[in-house]
Structure 1
Amino acid sequence: MGKNFIAVTIWPVIVVKKAEYKDDILLITHEKIHLRQQLELLVVFFYILYAVEFLFRWINYKNAMKAYENISFEVEAYSNEKDEDYLKHRKTFSFIKYYR
């Protein structure tokens, strides 16, 4: 986990950098969205698409953080992390509509 990251989701586990982060509802909701995305893409395809999208965006923006912030999986998770019920009404493959 890089110094800028406080959590990472590796199916089926959410790993947090510090124990107190496990009580952060926004963070956990964000990471649960990633769990759903991973499940939909049979885990391995999530990581492949995530890496490919990151590389294309890094080339485009020439900035790793900006590339990360614009990955469709991250845009969906950040856009909906405040809605604790998001996963109850989320449609399958919803991350696609966040691809820009």
Structure 2
Amino acid sequence: MPWLTLFIAGLLEIVWATAMKQSHGFSRLLPTAIMIVTMIGSFWLLAIAMRQLPLGTAYMVWTGIGAVGSFILGIVLLGEPLTLARVIAACLIVSGILAMKLAS
């Protein structure tokens, strides 16, 4: 169950990071509100997952899900560049997450 909780926390991190971008420096109310609510939810679920998972593992997985998910959404929704170097970097993050998961 802590892994599912951590995964959902990571998904919420993707949402709040995307909403932060869409808030245009907190000048748009709806994206700012979405960011605040999902940020609180993400941190809360991360804290719950950390009750049973090691700090380093939980934090790395959480940030990795957020980073890679935000990378993908940036490309798909925001037209950010898809370059070989960026894909390699994302693959390295995913491989680090998998290695951390296997090690714990």
TM range (shorter): 0.3 to 0.5
Structure with more of its chain in strand, by fraction: 1
Higher helix fraction (1 or 2): 2
TM-score (normalised: structure 1): 0.37
Structure (1 or 2) with the larger CA radius of gyration: 2
TM-score under structure 2 length normalisation: 0.36
